[in-house]
Protein backbone atom coordinates (compact mmCIF):
# COMPACT_ATOMS: atom_id res chain seq x y z
CA UNK A 1 0.00 0.00 0.00
CA UNK A 2 1.40 3.40 -1.00
CA UNK A 3 0.78 6.45 1.13
CA UNK A 4 0.71 9.78 -0.64
CA UNK A 5 2.74 12.43 1.14
CA UNK A 6 1.57 16.00 0.80
CA UNK A 7 4.28 18.44 -0.15
CA UNK A 8 4.76 20.68 2.91
CA UNK A 9 4.66 23.92 0.93
CA UNK A 10 1.49 22.83 -0.88
CA UNK A 11 0.02 21.91 2.51
CA UNK A 12 0.68 25.40 3.91
CA UNK A 13 -0.62 27.17 0.81
CA UNK A 14 -3.69 24.93 0.94
CA UNK A 15 -4.44 26.19 4.44
CA UNK A 16 -4.00 29.73 3.12
CA UNK A 17 -6.53 28.95 0.38
CA UNK A 18 -9.01 27.65 2.95
CA UNK A 19 -8.64 30.82 5.04
CA UNK A 20 -9.24 32.99 1.96
CA UNK A 21 -12.20 30.95 0.71
CA UNK A 22 -14.54 32.19 3.44
CA UNK A 23 -17.72 31.21 1.57
CA UNK A 24 -16.43 27.66 1.12
CA UNK A 25 -17.22 27.46 -2.60
CA UNK A 26 -13.79 26.08 -3.51
CA UNK A 27 -12.87 29.20 -5.47
CA UNK A 28 -10.79 32.23 -4.43
CA UNK A 29 -11.64 35.45 -6.25
CA UNK A 30 -10.29 39.01 -6.08
CA UNK A 31 -13.17 39.85 -3.73
CA UNK A 32 -11.66 37.51 -1.13
CA UNK A 33 -8.51 39.64 -1.13
CA UNK A 34 -10.56 42.83 -1.05
CA UNK A 35 -12.28 41.46 2.06
CA UNK A 36 -8.86 41.10 3.71
CA UNK A 37 -8.06 44.72 2.86
CA UNK A 38 -11.39 45.82 4.34
CA UNK A 39 -10.74 43.81 7.52
CA UNK A 40 -7.24 45.36 7.82
CA UNK A 41 -8.85 48.79 7.75
CA UNK A 42 -11.63 47.89 10.19
CA UNK A 43 -9.57 45.90 12.70
CA UNK A 44 -6.73 48.42 12.91
CA UNK A 45 -9.02 51.44 12.53
CA UNK A 46 -7.36 52.76 9.40
CA UNK A 47 -9.14 54.75 6.72
CA UNK A 48 -9.39 53.20 3.27
CA UNK A 49 -7.51 56.30 2.12
CA UNK A 50 -4.64 55.71 4.57
CA UNK A 51 -1.42 55.10 2.63
CA UNK A 52 -0.92 51.77 4.42
CA UNK A 53 -4.31 50.40 3.38
CA UNK A 54 -3.82 51.72 -0.15
CA UNK A 55 -0.46 49.89 -0.24
CA UNK A 56 -2.02 46.62 0.97
CA UNK A 57 -4.77 46.94 -1.67
CA UNK A 58 -2.26 47.76 -4.41
CA UNK A 59 0.16 44.94 -3.62
CA UNK A 60 -2.64 42.39 -3.23
CA UNK A 61 -4.05 43.61 -6.55
CA UNK A 62 -0.72 43.13 -8.29
CA UNK A 63 -0.26 39.77 -6.59
CA UNK A 64 -3.70 38.69 -7.80
CA UNK A 65 -2.78 39.72 -11.36
CA UNK A 66 0.40 37.65 -11.10
CA UNK A 67 -1.65 34.65 -9.93
CA UNK A 68 -3.89 35.03 -12.97
CA UNK A 69 -0.87 35.38 -15.25
CA UNK A 70 0.73 32.22 -13.88
CA UNK A 71 -2.45 30.17 -14.25
CA UNK A 72 -3.95 31.67 -17.40
CA UNK A 73 -7.29 32.00 -15.61
CA UNK A 74 -9.61 34.87 -16.50
CA UNK A 75 -10.12 37.47 -13.77
CA UNK A 76 -13.84 36.73 -13.44
CA UNK A 77 -13.34 32.98 -12.98
CA UNK A 78 -11.34 32.81 -9.77
CA UNK A 79 -8.85 30.13 -8.76
CA UNK A 80 -9.45 26.60 -7.57
CA UNK A 81 -7.35 25.21 -4.74
CA UNK A 82 -4.89 23.53 -7.13
CA UNK A 83 -4.63 26.63 -9.31
CA UNK A 84 -4.07 28.80 -6.24
CA UNK A 85 -1.30 26.55 -4.93
CA UNK A 86 0.38 26.50 -8.34
CA UNK A 87 0.05 30.29 -8.70
CA UNK A 88 1.47 30.97 -5.21
CA UNK A 89 4.42 28.73 -5.82
CA UNK A 90 5.13 30.29 -9.21
CA UNK A 91 4.76 33.88 -7.95
CA UNK A 92 7.01 33.19 -4.97
CA UNK A 93 9.81 32.07 -7.26
CA UNK A 94 9.29 34.48 -10.17
CA UNK A 95 11.80 37.30 -10.11
CA UNK A 96 11.18 38.38 -13.70
CA UNK A 97 8.87 41.14 -12.52
CA UNK A 98 8.22 42.86 -9.24
CA UNK A 99 8.91 40.48 -6.38
CA UNK A 100 5.32 40.48 -5.20
CA UNK A 101 5.93 37.93 -2.49
CA UNK A 102 8.37 40.44 -0.99
CA UNK A 103 6.31 43.60 -1.58
CA UNK A 104 3.02 42.33 -0.13
CA UNK A 105 4.48 41.34 3.27
CA UNK A 106 6.11 44.77 3.62
CA UNK A 107 2.75 46.45 2.94
CA UNK A 108 1.01 44.18 5.44
CA UNK A 109 3.67 44.85 8.06
CA UNK A 110 3.24 48.62 7.59
CA UNK A 111 -0.50 48.25 8.24
CA UNK A 112 0.19 46.22 11.41
CA UNK A 113 2.86 48.63 12.65
CA UNK A 114 0.44 51.43 13.46
CA UNK A 115 2.90 53.53 15.46
CA UNK A 116 5.75 53.12 12.94
CA UNK A 117 8.22 51.71 15.46
CA UNK A 118 9.16 48.78 13.17
CA UNK A 119 7.64 46.16 15.46
CA UNK A 120 4.30 44.43 16.01
CA UNK A 121 2.98 43.47 19.43
CA UNK A 122 1.58 40.07 20.36
CA UNK A 123 -1.93 41.50 20.63
CA UNK A 124 -1.77 43.15 17.19
CA UNK A 125 -0.36 39.95 15.66
CA UNK A 126 -3.17 37.96 17.30
CA UNK A 127 -5.76 40.37 15.88
CA UNK A 128 -4.12 40.09 12.47
CA UNK A 129 -4.34 36.29 12.49
CA UNK A 130 -7.81 35.98 14.03
CA UNK A 131 -9.70 39.01 12.76
CA UNK A 132 -7.98 39.96 9.51
CA UNK A 133 -6.84 36.59 8.16
CA UNK A 134 -9.47 34.61 10.11
CA UNK A 135 -6.94 32.00 11.13
CA UNK A 136 -8.20 30.34 14.29
CA UNK A 137 -6.32 27.05 14.19
CA UNK A 138 -5.20 25.75 17.56
CA UNK A 139 -1.56 26.65 18.02
CA UNK A 140 -1.52 29.44 15.42
CA UNK A 141 -0.25 31.87 18.05
CA UNK A 142 2.75 29.56 18.53
CA UNK A 143 3.99 31.40 15.47
CA UNK A 144 4.42 34.59 17.50
CA UNK A 145 6.93 33.13 19.96
CA UNK A 146 8.79 31.41 17.12
CA UNK A 147 8.86 34.56 14.96
CA UNK A 148 10.10 36.71 17.84
CA UNK A 149 13.63 35.37 17.41
CA UNK A 150 15.24 37.94 19.71
CA UNK A 151 12.68 37.34 22.48
CA UNK A 152 11.82 41.02 22.98
CA UNK A 153 8.05 40.45 22.88
CA UNK A 154 7.62 41.95 19.42
CA UNK A 155 7.91 40.83 15.81
CA UNK A 156 10.20 43.11 13.83
CA UNK A 157 9.88 43.80 10.12
CA UNK A 158 12.80 41.46 9.38
CA UNK A 159 11.28 38.68 11.49
CA UNK A 160 7.92 39.08 9.73
CA UNK A 161 9.38 39.17 6.20
CA UNK A 162 11.57 36.14 6.96
CA UNK A 163 8.48 34.26 8.17
CA UNK A 164 6.62 34.88 4.90
CA UNK A 165 9.63 33.62 2.94
CA UNK A 166 9.70 30.51 5.14
CA UNK A 167 5.98 30.01 4.67
CA UNK A 168 6.39 30.02 0.91
CA UNK A 169 9.74 28.28 0.54
CA UNK A 170 10.61 26.11 3.54
CA UNK A 171 9.63 22.46 3.55
CA UNK A 172 10.37 22.32 7.29
CA UNK A 173 6.99 22.47 9.03
CA UNK A 174 8.70 23.45 12.30
CA UNK A 175 10.20 26.68 10.93
CA UNK A 176 8.59 29.81 12.42
CA UNK A 177 7.02 30.82 9.11
CA UNK A 178 5.35 27.42 8.87
CA UNK A 179 3.38 27.91 12.09
CA UNK A 180 0.73 30.43 10.99
CA UNK A 181 -1.87 27.64 10.87
CA UNK A 182 -0.59 25.86 13.95
CA UNK A 183 1.61 22.79 13.84
CA UNK A 184 0.79 21.04 10.59
CA UNK A 185 1.26 17.35 9.91
CA UNK A 186 2.02 15.82 6.54
CA UNK A 187 -0.22 12.95 5.51
Work out the percent of the chain whose per-residue pLDDT is above 70. 95
Q: What is the 3-state secondary structure (H, E, C) of 123-149?
A: HHHHHHHHHHCCCCCCCCCHHHHHHCC
CA dihedral 80, 86, 88, 89 (to 10 degrees): 160
CA angle 142, 147, 148 (to 5 degrees): 105
Rounded Cα–Cα distance for residues 42 and 51 (Å): 15
Higher pLDDT, 138 or 130: 130
- Mean residue pLDDT of the chain comes to 89
Q: Express each pLDDT in 47-99 by its tens digit.
A: 999 999 999 999 999 999 999 999 999 988 999 999 999 999 998 888 776 67
How far is residue 53 from each of residues 70, 113, 125, 149, measured CA to CA in Å? 26, 12, 17, 27
**Burial (CB count <10 Å: 0-12, 13-18, 19+), residue 23:** exposed
Mean pLDDT (whole number) for 133-148: 85
Mean pLDDT (whole number) for 136-145: 82
Rounded Cα–Cα distance for residues 104 and 58 (Å): 9
pLDDT beyond 90 at 180: no
Amino acid sequence: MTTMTTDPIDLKIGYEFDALDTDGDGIVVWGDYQDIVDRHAAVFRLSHEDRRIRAVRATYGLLWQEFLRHTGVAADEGLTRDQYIRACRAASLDSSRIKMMEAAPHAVFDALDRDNDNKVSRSDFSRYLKEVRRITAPGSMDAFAALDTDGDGYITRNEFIRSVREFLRSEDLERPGSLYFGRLQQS
